Amino acid sequence: MLDKADSNIGGRESSRYNAQQFLLIILDAYFLMTVRTRIAPSPTGDPHVGTAYIALFNMAFARQHGGEFILRIEDTDQTRSTAESEQMILDSLRWLGLEWAEGPDKPGPHGPYRQSERGDIYQKYTQQLLDEGKAFKCYRTAEELDQLRNQRREAGLQGAMKESDLALSTEEVAKREAANEPYVVRMKVPEEGVCVFDDMLRGAIEVEWSQVDCQILMKSDGMPTYHLANVVDDHLMEITHVLRGEEWISSAPKHQLLYKYFNWEMPQLCHMPLLRNPDKSKLSKRKNPTSIIYYKRMGYMAEALLNYLARMGWSMPDEREKFSLDEMIENFDVNRVSLGGPIFDQEKLSWLNGMWIREELSDEQFAVEFQKWALNPEYLMQIIPLIKQRVEKFTDVAPVSSFLLSGMLPITAESFEHKKLLLEDTRRILQFASWMLDAEQNWNKDHLFSQFKALGEAMDFKIRDVLFPIFVAIAGTSQSVSVVDSMQILGPDMSRARVRHALNTVGGPSKKEAKRWEKEYREVAKVLAEA
């Protein structure tokens, strides 16, 4: 018979045994869990290299853990989302070699995979939050919100606006509700305390609740904001890990709070460092071509571009520069991601692309890849109607069409000499055109022409004078085929890049000029919006 001491020892051993069993159960559950990651781009323009960058790391993490990578389309912005943009995203990611297990073109058990088709789901969960007192209807108008912000600014208040700041009297709410006035649904957020959430790269992150606003969850048009749709979709699609850009760190407290409100487990978060321009600013189309289509049009190999994106903030264990997607997946460790802002350097990308061309392509493969890039029927059939009237023999084709098969053109300041335009006029036209094209989403040739015509009228120039520097920027000469036809073929990012290159060639605005021109352009932009 055991004495009391022996009995206590036995109890401790039993407890240790039970704890070990529990730990094994937890570990088994973890390793049996299917890792699921996702990418959720918005189809509101050309597919961005930043989308490919985040998609690559999500796919690599999932594959490295034997999991699944999902593609979801976040098209709640109905005014800017287009089917054409969605298709370009799908085509560009596939061109790079990124493939998904479920998506809008690959039906699965968690669909639909377009947020615009999931409206009833979001309405259901919004109503649940309202019923449970975790969200509220806000009838404040845009003018009232601006007034509130100004009042807070004048009072020196720095924190985010809370429910108490936005509250209307019970009588006023009833009045607006009876008048069927529009409202948004906002989440309730604590006014005091600290939110703490874990990041796979950064550890515990603390954010004061006083800095977190009462985020809109449902807009007045009945469409959800990113924040609600993101949380609901990630839960219902069983996403286990979310690798996303570090710009979403400030939104993590809102997402964590929503998971708590719904009593759901939040996926593990990993905020990747943002891609940056050489001047350390966030990568943007105003300073660097950002479209995947641009790099495809420039003649980069998909494997090289993907290789370069993988090197953005991550490195192979042996530090080698050149490696395939399969090699990355085999060696991937998220802990090797560096938090320093990776610089997207086109010269370094070109160097790496050259290595891929020389080391991976035989002469025969080079010929095949070049034909696929420049001489494919789809692209040729866009060019031929433009150049046919200018060709008398086939040897004329290369001189006439070479600018459509080139990157940045060898132009100089002398290329823009004009009998009527002063240098300052040319510089100003190119800068205004660059701003106009940066904001343009409709890349149809007829629309582009009407915009250039409106630009000329607003700047008090004839259309032919406005188009002269654009011809030189796009084709290298004013004696060329239709410039708007050429821009439609080259696409937005290549056209924008050539106009910026031309502006840099003749000399961009000084700080003083930039301030004056920006003020002038704001008035011009109003005319363009009405054209």
> Distance between CA 208 and CA 195 in Å, rounded?
6
Return the structure tokens found at 512.
Answer: 């003083």
Cβ 483 vs Cβ 439: under 8 Å: no
Return the structure tokens found at 27.
Answer: 């570990």
> Distance between CA 309 and CA 97 in Å, rounded?
13
Chain position carrying tokens 């600290």: 194
CB hemisphere CA count around 43 (13 angstroms): 25
Catalytic annotation present for 511: no
> Distance between CA 41 and CA 89 in Å, rounded?
8
Distance of CA 384 to the CA centre of its chain: 34
Catalytic pick among 4, 280, 282, 285: 285
Judged on CB neighbours under 10 Å (0-12, 13-18, 19+), 111 is middle
Return the structure tokens found at 95.
Answer: 């061109």
> Distance between CA 342 and CA 348 in Å, rounded?
12
Q: Prior bond to 289 cis, omega within 30?
A: no
Residue 206 zone, left/alpha/beta (φ > 0; ψ -120 to 50; rest): beta
Largest CA distance in the chain: 113
Active site amino acids? 285
